[in-house]
Structure 1
Amino acid sequence: KGKVETIIDAYVENNNARFKDRKFIDEVKSKLPTDWGKFKKRTDSKNQNAYNQKNLDELRSRKQIIDRMLSDYNTNTKQIPERVLDYWLNIEDVDTDRQISDYIKKEQDACKQRIKALEKGKAPKIGEMATAMAKDIVNMVVDEKKKQKITSFYYDKIQECLALYADSEKSRLLKTILFHDLELDKTGGHPFISEKTFENDKSTYDLYKEYFTTKKTWIDKTFYSGEGKNTKIKITDKNSTPYTYWKLQKNKSSLDDWIRNNANGHTATDKKKPIDLPTNLFDNAIIELLQQQLQQHHIAYDTNAKLNQLMKIWWENVRQDKVQGYYNWDREYTIYDTKLQFKPNSKEKFADY
């Protein structure tokens, strides 16, 4: 067996059955300190990060303790499913009402910031405006199945038409895609756009301003009630609320439900699916190889250096290599009807091009 196959086999043998076994999960839990206080999962809000530095340090310390314990099982916290790790770390799920409230506040604040930037004469570039609108249009679709119909092909076309909206042909194509192909003005579509939205706007700038101004008004009317300290933010009608919003109301399954679903699957075909391998499964093996080569070449490195740091040192000092040559080739960009010649590294700073 090769090294890669050996690592994969070891992971499957060590972990696949364990995370379907409540007895094993509780066995590890019983060996952890009993005085660990509970952490309440929180979302980032405008005035407060999810966790302050003190709490982050505490969580990091707890992970180190768990890692030392898991070394007996030939695994580590990076390879543990989030639900199990939260249970061991004593982290409770985020409060759903708070999560929804924070998310809606962020959405409203984003609209305010975009509008304020326009008023100050700091409008984004046309392409950035188009991308922001395209992403938001998809994000605001109410029905999950209708949202899934917006493939990457449709998204790219929407973004292109928004960027070139001043072209009458592109503006017509945009309306065809949104309201004929995707039917976003029908039930389960977009909550506030229709063909009328695009009647008076002549440019991407005009459309961008109207779209996010309308969205802010829609958020205020749809989710906010009361004034001052009595202000409440909540979802009142799931049938007219974007899927991205109301999916936050879904209750997270209990640990026992998670274990049962992990063992048996949600559907009959789940067991036929391949095992999900952690993205960092090979990190330690690669780190060891890099450290060995650096030592052989008598090159100093920080013993606590992470994979990307070691790779950079190895690339420059052992392999003595640089980026591939084509990154430095002359190139030509076509922007609308203008062709721009670009010669990498011909200027000292990117701002000089």
Structure 2
Amino acid sequence: MQFIDQANIEVEAGKGGDGIVAFRREKYVPAGGPAGGNGGKGGSIYFRAVEDLQTLLDFRYNHKFKAGNGSRGGPNNCTGANGKDLTIDVPCGTIIYNAETGDVIADLIQPEETVLIAAGGKGGLGNKYFLSNRNRAPEYALPGLDGEIKSLRLELKLLAEVGIIGLPNAGKSTLISALSAARPKIADYPFTTLIPNLGVVRKPTGDGTVFADIPGLIEGASQGAGLGHDFLRHIERTRVLLHLIDATSEDIIGDYQTIQGELAAYGKNLATRPHILALNKIDAVDRENINLDELAIQLHRISENKVFIISAATRAGLDELMQEVWKILDEMNAVETEELVLMQS
């Protein structure tokens, strides 16, 4: 699947139908009078968030969307048919910007959340509307109004509870494949993952939690280097960051500091978000020459976060790691519930 997380499109709501000039001329209606109907309303354009879409790929080649026009009014005071509304489905987590001003129009997070983006034009008034004591036979009507036209920029930020981050080839894809049914491309060279991967990990209670494997970041990612600038935005919505560090690296402390520096430079409170550190690939480490426990202690002193020693490939240490993930999420949920209760009381 090709991953597209930004798109520019133009939407045009339908034009309202014209009102008409008409008079009643039946044989047995001596004072017929005006009978021109109003035009129908133009169709509006709505955006709806849906769960079965994961990318903005549908907008790569289709850039223009138009709703139906309203029909003109009819004789005998008949109002024209309204134009057909257009509902555009986008993935949950899509932000809709005004492309000209940069203002956020809508942020669609919840499934089936729907928002009006471009309103259809009003139908024109027929001459029946202008009947008065001073004007018994109006011979004019109004045209329908144009619908709104907007240039939009769509941006998708993945919705995941846990974001797996780290330098290229730290084992993020292997971890998400070990924890979920996701099957990302895995190889022994950097930048294997070119798109974010989502996987649903089951809690002991049976509930599903979405994990996101974010493509490898490098130094300078927050300034646009490598893949990081395109994908750092996807970390914004995650609640917990699981930072994987390659235990076979020659500079484990430096690797940790590189990623933390990029998170701090990017902002959005990423550097202060709850973190869990994991030294991965311990199955490939020469235990006789490398003291993993000592490295974990050093990382803990620097980061003040818990450090786990794991192997995603052999699943060693994953149970303890996941217990910590569930613990942090449960604590965050409890705090949010308490805050909600206080707000409502």
Q: TM-score range by the shorter chain?
A: under 0.3
Q: Please identify which structure carries the higher helix content.
A: 1
TM-score normalized by the length of structure 1: 0.26
TM-score normalized by the length of structure 2: 0.26
> Which structure has the bigger radius of gyration?
2
